Structure 1
Amino acid sequence: MFTGIVKALGRIADTTPSPAGRRMIIEAEAIADFGLHEGDSVAVNGVCLTALAPSGARFAADVSHETLDLTSLGRLETGSTVNLEPALRAGDPLGGHLVSGHVDGLARLVEQHADGDNRRMRFEVPVALARYISHKGSVTLDGVSLTVNKVGDTTFELNLIPHTLAVTTLGRLDTGDAVNLEVDQLARILERLLETRPSEPRNS
């Protein structure tokens, strides 16, 4: 599990095709402070990956063909910047919201403009995911926990503060870019509960 609070910006140091997909080497000075061990989970742009051969300021990760196809990781190249967050540990503060690292789909930035020092961003999402996004609810974009300010039929808007723009990759987005979207798990759980709710007994 993760919180959607990015701990570091990393860099794709190398990406190499493999029979199962691709192997990526990810580096950042802060990785040395993560205390990673072989097999630990790390969120890379919101995608839960398994750390392999962690050493100092880098680790490797194998990314499957399915993950490459369904997330924005397939678009990453050597030199690309990524958001990093190590897995939540017992006793860690929950600064954002509970994030699984299992991407639901891609959201596309369709409009952005300055709002003082902040930046307003509007994203378009697949119809099947739009119902899980609500006003003042939580979403995760490329691993960043955010609060929704406004919703449309298949769009939602965010107001990003200068800190978020500076310490995550979201401040580098161009209109038209796609980002990894994970909807709030509570919305999915509630939907499932409503689907499986027993029918009310009828009075005889």
Structure 2
Amino acid sequence: MFTGIVQSQAEVISITTESQLSRLVIGVPSTLVYKLEIGASIAINGVCLTVVEYNKQADNSYTIAFDIIDETLRVTTLGNLSVHDWVNVERSLKVGDEIGGHIVSGHVQYKSTLVRKKVTETNTALYFKCESPWLKYIFEKGFITVNGTSLTIGVIKDNTFSVHLIPETLTRTNLGKLNVNDEVNLEFDQQTITIVKTIERLNLSELTQAK
């Protein structure tokens, strides 16, 4: 589990593919590998991946390697990555950690496209496309995770929704680097999904009984 509070950006060092399995290697500061173990979970652009290897470099930074199966590449934007791209990184939640965002599973449900970007002196507004059936899980002032970043939903209109980024978010994450037509990973708030699905089942049950 994660909180959607990105801890660092990391540069993609290498991507190799063998036998329908891709290995992603990123470079991270030493602070991100404190008590890190092989098999631990780390969210990369909001995708929960398993650490398979990590190594210390000459400059005291580290590289971390992950193996990614074809299905994950298909349903997320990780298949779009290239060497020297920057990704959002978050270590998994530990008991007692502060939950600054909201509970996030790291299971991407939808790939969305940036359709508009509005930059002012104080904030940046991003507008993303979201089609049915996922649109029903989006509510103004509700939670959503974009590339692993916990954000509050702004305006919803014509199959799009907006989020607003303060300078700190722009500095900490890769969202400020997005351009129109770029794809992002979305994870919808699980509590919202549960409530919507429960209401749908109750309504269906009432209709069935009425017949």
The TM-score normalised by the length of structure 2 is: 0.89
Work out whether residues 8 and 30 of structure 1, in 8 Å CA contact, stay in contact via their aligned partners in 2.
no
Structure 1 distance, partners of 2:101, 2:3, is 5
Structure 2 distance, partners of 1:128, 1:30, is 42
User: Who is 2:13 aligned against?
Assistant: 13
Q: 1:21 is matched by which residue type in structure 2?
A: L
> Aligned to 1:147, which of 142, 152, 160?
152
Q: 1:166 is matched by which residue type in structure 2?
A: T
Work out whether residues 34 and 86 of structure 1, in 8 Å CA contact, stay in contact via their aligned partners in 2.
no
Counterpart mapping for 1:14-33 below 5 A: 14-30=14-30, 32-33=32-33
Deviation at 1:4, TM superposition (A): 0.4
Cα 1:30–1:152 change in 2 (3 A) is farther
User: Who is 1:68 aligned against?
Assistant: 73
User: Who is 1:181 aligned against?
Assistant: 186
Work out whether residues 130 and 153 of structure 1, in 8 Å CA contact, stay in contact via their aligned partners in 2.
no
User: Who is 1:135 aligned against?
Assistant: 140
The TM-score normalised by the length of structure 1 is: 0.92
> Aligned to 2:174, which of 169, 173, 181?
169
Structure 2 alignment gaps of length 5 or more = 57-61
Deviation at 1:125, TM superposition (A): 1.5
Q: More deviation in 151-160 or 83-92?
A: 151-160
* Equivalent pairs, count: 201
Deviation at 1:166, TM superposition (A): 1.2
Deviation at 1:34, TM superposition (A): 4.1
Q: More deviation in 58-67 or 133-142?
A: 58-67
Work out whether residues 153 and 163 of structure 2, in 8 Å CA contact, stay in contact via their aligned partners in 1.
yes
Structure 2 distance, partners of 1:143, 1:34, is 21
Work out whether residues 72 and 180 of structure 1, in 8 Å CA contact, stay in contact via their aligned partners in 2.
yes
Q: Once the two structures are superposed, what CA deviation does each residue of 1:60-102 show, in whole Å capped at 9, x if it has no partner?
A: 1111111111111000011111000000000000000010000
> Aligned to 1:110, which of 115, 136, 149?
115
User: Who is 2:82 aligned against?
Assistant: 77
SS of the residue corresponding to residue 94 of structure 1 reads: coil
Q: 1:112 is matched by which residue type in structure 2?
A: K
Work out whether residues 31 and 58 of structure 1, in 8 Å CA contact, stay in contact via their aligned partners in 2.
no
Work out whether residues 42 and 87 of structure 1, in 8 Å CA contact, stay in contact via their aligned partners in 2.
yes
Deviation at 1:192, TM superposition (A): 2.6
Deviation at 1:172, TM superposition (A): 0.4
Cα 1:173–1:167 change in 2 (3 A) is same
Q: Once the two structures are superposed, what CA deviation does each residue of 1:85-125 show, in whole Å capped at 9, x if it has no partner?
A: 00000000000001000001111111111233211111111
Structure 2 distance, partners of 1:96, 1:32, is 19
